[in-house]
Structure 1
Amino acid sequence: MLIGLIVFCEVMFWAFIVSGLFARYVLKKRKLGMVLLALSPVVDVVLLGATAVDLHGGGEAAFAHALAAIYLGVSLVFGKKMVAWADAWFSYRFADGPRPPKKPKAGKAHAALERLGWLRHLAAYAIGCVIMGVLMVISSSQQASEVFFGTMGTWGIILLVDFAISFSYTLFPRKEKRA
């Protein structure tokens, strides 16, 4: 059930974003657009609440609970950036806004972007781990601790791999492709 709720929350997150941007740029209803965009974080609160209620009510901790914490960490850290990206493209496509700049694909600028991406990943990891810690306290079972610590460990390994890849561009920057 919780996996379904996570999927539902992800769909609703993007539904609020797209409908908010549609209202802002296509319907020219700026206030409605802002209200719809402001509802996107409410989805995160609903997911966090449902996860906590499930565990507090005696639900057995499972990877779905840990996945909810991961989703929340990633959403909190990357959400604003994703909304800004979508906003820039909607503005370009529907409101004669400027074309969003392309991301650098080589050189120092690319390396800096990769490092920043890893730092965001680290922040998402930290937030997700704090949420998992709170969920462990709510559940207060050995089994929950195993699930959450196991997930933290696996995600930690992914974070380390991401570090190696992201910072490798600092040591070995991509070369510009010649036309």
Structure 2
Amino acid sequence: MIVALIVICEVGFWVLLAGGLALRYWARMPRASVAVLLCEPLLEVLLFVVTAIDLKNGAEPDWKHGLAAVYIGYSIALGHYTIKWVDVRVAHRFAGGPAPATPKYGAARAVHEWKLAARWILAALIAMALLQGAVQYVGGGGEISSLRMWQQKMLWVIGINVVIAGTYTLFPKKAPAGERTGKRENFLTKL
């Protein structure tokens, strides 16, 4: 039941996102769009409540409960970012909005990667806290190895994101020679 609910919540996330953006850009109903997009956190609350009830009713904690905690962590830490990321691209593609402005080179790219890593780290920490809450709830008498396994996976998520952001800091990607020259010429011509 938990797996089906996780799938429903994930599909619901994307359906609400598509519906909210359709209301904003095609139907020109921005207030209705906001109302639809604000329904998305209700999916996480529903998943959290059902997971807690499942554990309360004596279900042995397993990978499904761990996956629910990870999904909730992702939704809290990265849900808003994901919505904004998709919104900018839909606005650009279908509503004449500005092109997405993700930095590609140098320190700006490193800062972008560290901000993204911070979001992933927050998602992992939220998931780990929820998992720890489930471990405490079950206590020493229950089977908690699957919950501990998910906590270890979240440590890997943190480590991988730190390594990725660190590589952009230690080995910044440089703009191709033509782009660097073009930018200097444009800057000089404006003087």
CA deviations on 1:81-124 (whole Å, 9 max, x unpaired) are: 111112222322333222222x2222111111111121111111
Equivalent residue, structure 1, for 2:189: none
- State the distance in 2 between where 1:115 and 1:36 align: 30
User: For the Cα contact (< 8 Å) 1:111–1:170, is it kept in 2?
Assistant: yes
TM-score by length of 1: 0.90
- State the distance in 1 between where 2:151 and 2:141 align: 15
> Per-residue deviation at 1:67?
0.9
Equivalent residue, structure 2, for 1:170: 169
Report which of the two structures shows the higher radius of gyration computed on alpha carbons.
2
- State the distance in 1 between where 2:20 and 2:143 align: 38
Matches within 5 A, 1:25-174: 25-101=25-101, 103-140=102-139, 142-174=141-173
Q: Number of residues paired by the alignment?
A: 178
Any stretches of 5+ residues in structure 1 without a counterpart? none
1:134 counterpart SS class: helix
> Per-residue deviation at 1:31?
2.3
> Per-residue deviation at 1:178?
4.1
- State the distance in 1 between where 2:162 and 2:141 align: 31
> Per-residue deviation at 1:143?
4.0
CA deviations on 1:2-46 (whole Å, 9 max, x unpaired) are: 222111101101111110110111111222211111111111111
- State the distance in 1 between where 2:5 and 2:176 align: 44
The change in CA–CA distance for 1:158 and 1:30 in structure 2 (over 3 A counts) is closer
- State the distance in 1 between where 2:94 and 2:167 align: 38
Residue identity in the other structure for 1:33: S
User: For the Cα contact (< 8 Å) 2:62–2:144, is it kept in 1?
Assistant: no
> Per-residue deviation at 1:144?
4.3
TM-score by length of 2: 0.85
- State the distance in 1 between where 2:71 and 2:163 align: 23
CA RMSD of aligned residues (A): 1.7
Relative contact order: is structure 1 or structure 2 higher (C-alpha 8 Å, sep ≥ 6)? 1
User: For the Cα contact (< 8 Å) 2:20–2:33, is it kept in 1?
Assistant: yes
CA deviations on 1:58-78 (whole Å, 9 max, x unpaired) are: 111111111111111111011
Of stretches 70-79 and 162-171 in structure 1, the one that deviates more from structure 2 is 162-171
1:58 counterpart SS class: coil
Residue identity in the other structure for 1:27: A
Any stretches of 5+ residues in structure 2 without a counterpart? 179-191
User: For the Cα contact (< 8 Å) 2:48–2:68, is it kept in 1?
Assistant: yes
Residue identity in the other structure for 2:115: L
User: For the Cα contact (< 8 Å) 1:16–1:37, is it kept in 2?
Assistant: yes
> Per-residue deviation at 1:174?
1.7
